[in-house]
Structure 1
Amino acid sequence: MLHKSRILFPVILLCFIFSGIAQSYHLPKGKKFHKMKFQLINNLMIIPVEVNGTELSFVLDSGVGTPILFNLADQDSIQLNNVTEITINGLGEGDAINALKSTSNFVRLGDVKNVSQDIYVVMDAGINFSPSLGIPVHGIIGYDLFRDFVVDINYINKSIKFYDPNMYSYKLPKNSREINLSIIGKKAYLDASVMINKTQEIPVKMLMDTGSSDAIWLFEDEQIRLPEKHYDDFLGKGLAGDIYGKRTKIHHLKIADFVLSNAKAAFPDMETFNTIKDFGGRNGSLGGEVFKRFNIVFDYQNRRMILKKNSNFDKLFQYNISGIDLQHAGVRYVSERIANSNGVVYNNEKTYGDVQIVLQGATRLSLVPEIVVSGIRAGSPAHSAGLQEGDVILAVNGKRIHRYKLQEIMHLLNNNKDKRVKVLVERYNNDLLFSFVLKPLFE
């Protein structure tokens, strides 16, 4: 019989707190660093991780204390050692969920290895970030890697170097800044400041959360007040369900002498955090939409980091102007004409389907992801136009969306303010065309 215990997991999007024995990662003797590529999807770093010989994909989260597995339905098998039952409470609107704790697992990221890693496994099939990211994602990994290595992240080249701390040559590149970190409860914090309404610059202590795709979360208090111009929005998922709050824009965020103007910010509903009894004096968190504007060196052992702004620094913060949330929801067949009787190719562009059937040399059937509307913000242009949750997206501005990745479709829907967007959807086996104009949110 499995032994049952109860553990409380405060969660912020993909960020978790755990306790447990120290487990170490290491490089082969004499090797200075290991370099690996990552996918940057919705501001999250997705990296390949091998667990007991099974190749999986994980979000690299600077705050997660123990790796977490979920969404294992697409795996034929995975070995997990020494399993016991646990119960998890987390952020969101739902109840506690059942999970497993597994010990003494072999985890490998290229040359980076850990021969005795604890892993938590969430059994709830509803805890699955893959549909909203558009690729299979099986888990979250983080703190132990940041603890054992100097982690050098290049957001432009989409590469990470895990350095042996004893072999790392500490340099301060030109136009970079060294920032002090505090490490509390397996999480990293930095001191920054925010100006909300062009009045007073407010010092803030912020959680470093690479497992959040958002930009800035702020907790309202006597000094930090929600701006008058804001709207209700879905902010993300916790273990216990969805997280909601207010979306807005602040005058700027300042880290050292780096100033990010007109920064996107969110004020989460504090009821979501009722499982957290002590915030440790923090005022909010910084996520991937801030971090991707820098190339970053994390040095947890020495309580410091290096920030160097990159070519993303001055890019505008991205808002969901249309009000449409999308996700993958299974697959569908699409039919395309590829040649006429004279052999002239009409359309031979690559699709994202893994299965293609050619009929009589002229028609191609491709099995492609089905993209559905997973949510509509009340009062948004898409909502006012009549789009509904569950609509299957077929085309945006005449472009068949099966040729695009999920985040590219979101870009098509939100790219140009004051521009008209036409969306073709399927609803109850009928094709419907909707049209709306993107309007600035805070002007």
Structure 2
Amino acid sequence: MIMSRDVVKTHVFLWLFILLCTNLCCAPAAFAQNFGFTGKRTAQTMPFKFVKNLIIIPVFINGKGPYDFILDTGVGPMVITDASILDSAQVRTYTPFKVFGLGAGIDLNALFTNKISVGIGHALSETTPTAVLADDIFNLSGYVGQPVYGLVGYSFFKSFVVRIRYDSKSLTFYNTARRVRYRGERIPIELTLNKPYLRAQVRTDSGDTLHTRLIIDTGGSHSLLLETFRNGAFPLPDTTIEANLGMGLSGMIAGKMGRIRSLQIGAFHVPDVLTGFPSFEDVAKKTAGSDRNGNLGANFLKKFNIILDYNGGFIYLKKNFYFQERSEHDMSGMSVFVDFEQADRLFVGRIEPGSPAQEAGFESGDELLKVNFKAAKDLSLTELDELFRSRDARPILVEVNRQGTPLLLLLRLKKRI
């Protein structure tokens, strides 16, 4: 298994950045600076790339770029995962910082600075609190299938009223003093450690309605994660499967996948929500007592066009055409990533035990050559991801290269949740 390159299909960022941002919030000057428009501009609309449910926007760093960053409500400081975009002499002046892992293993070294200038469209922040990772253990670019250099979050959202139109893939941000026409249902949010939370009701298989507090996470490609309830593990549905829910600082996060009966946010009722339940001992236990029950990801949020108003304390939700879409779990049982160091080639990462991929004979490290007779290099990771979620019992013919030997494997998708 190629652990250093293995990239999880969902929840790839959550565990690192919750802990990283919690620690950085303790820094005295953290988050003191905000973005502002240059000149007399009071608003701007720009398109974004929408890849694996993630919003990717162009960002200028210290006047250079643009570099693609993920727009992520789940992070406090900006996070740079590829330090090559920074001046090496300046990097040596940054403050060392240690991030302690979730899951067994080593810790991760990082650097902290507020000496970075960040430009997004016509908005500029001259001194942006930033965490620079010494190593990108998540291989974000490989996960997304294109170069990605980091994540930007709280400083941007705190500076503007932000409208995200998932249906048209456009982002509009307004000066907080400008009058904005709000559309949709207004839901109160709370900011804790510079991350937004909302209240939601979870209906379980037992018929209980559990009142939960969830992080709003545009930077998580999943639908919903439920971690804890009353300082214990969150109650599981009747039917679950073992699943790999994400990458901790030093290893994979184990857990289960299932479906809750329904999720209620304000007047919006969504049945049969695909949900991850992280291992309580590995992850959730470390957040017990934090008044957080879980994490609401972009695969759920995209059902709405949203307006986030951190200063007003609200999110506005308006249904779009994604609302009726049913989320499906991966039916292949394997992760695929792009290796940019090997001419953008696609490789198999982790294979789930007992999955269709294992039964078909795939091995970690196999290079994908053709998928249904189409060159794999001509397929985006989003297209592959959609294919692997498409239909129960669907046959997919895959040609792989295994250590120089070409093999033809028949993958038959299986709906497990």
The TM-score normalised by the length of structure 2 is: 0.88
Structure 1 position 53, deviation (Å): 1.7
2:238 to 217, 225, 228: 228
1:355 paired residue number: none
Q: Is the 8 A contact 1:14 1:61 kept in 2?
A: no
Alignment of 1:4-83 (within 5 A): 12=15, 14-15=17-18, 16-17=21-22, 18-19=24-25, 20=27, 21=29, 22-55=32-65, 56-73=67-84, 75=85, 77=87, 80=90, 82-83=93-94
Q: Distance in 1 between matches of 2:415 and 2:136?
A: 37
Q: Is the 8 A contact 2:278 2:284 kept in 1?
A: no
2:214 paired residue number: 206
1:197 to 182, 192, 205: 205
Q: Distance in 2 between matches of 1:52 and 1:241?
A: 33
Name the % identity. 30
1:285 paired residue number: 295
Q: Distance in 2 between matches of 1:315 and 1:406?
A: 20
Would you say 1:216 and 2:191 are equivalent positions? Answer: no
Q: Distance in 2 between matches of 1:137 and 1:285?
A: 23
2:8 paired residue number: none
For 1:168, the aligned partner's letter is: R
Structure 1 position 274, deviation (Å): 7.2
For 2:169, the aligned partner's letter is: K
Structure 1 position 410, deviation (Å): 2.3
Structure 1 residues 207 and 309, CA gap change in structure 2 (3 angstroms): same
Would you say 1:436 and 2:373 are equivalent positions? Answer: no
1:238 paired residue number: 248
Structure 1 position 130, deviation (Å): 1.0
Could you list the runs of 5+ residues in structure 2 that have no partner in the other structure? 1-12
Structure 1 position 201, deviation (Å): 2.3
Q: Deviations over 1:12-32 (max 9, x none)?
A: 255433314211111135322
2:282 paired residue number: 272
1:404 paired residue number: 379
Structure 1 position 224, deviation (Å): 4.1
- RMSD across aligned C-alpha pairs, in angstroms? 2.3
For 1:25, the aligned partner's letter is: F
Structure 1 position 162, deviation (Å): 1.3
Could you list the runs of 5+ residues in structure 1 that have no partner in the other structure? 1-9, 333-367
1:84 paired residue number: 95
Structure 1 residues 211 and 156, CA gap change in structure 2 (3 angstroms): same
The alignment partner of 1:205 has SS state of strand
Moved more, 86-95 or 291-300: 86-95
**Structure having the larger proportion of residues in helix:** 2
Greater relative contact order, per chain length (Cα 8 Å cut-off, separation 6+): 2
For 1:414, the aligned partner's letter is: R
Would you say 1:114 and 2:125 are equivalent positions? Answer: yes
For 2:359, the aligned partner's letter is: S
Q: Distance in 2 between matches of 1:237 and 1:48?
A: 25
For 1:303, the aligned partner's letter is: G
Structure 1 position 390, deviation (Å): 0.6
Q: Deviations over 1:381-436 (max 9, x none)?
A: 11112111111111222222211111212222331212222221111211111113
Would you say 1:304 and 2:310 are equivalent positions? Answer: no
Q: Deviations over 1:150-174 (max 9, x none)?
A: 0110111211111101013243x3x
Structure 1 position 239, deviation (Å): 3.5
Q: Distance in 2 between matches of 1:211 and 1:427?
A: 33
Structure 1 position 101, deviation (Å): 1.7
Q: Is the 8 A contact 2:162 2:307 kept in 1?
A: yes
2:368 to 393, 401, 404: 393
Q: Is the 8 A contact 1:220 1:226 kept in 2?
A: no
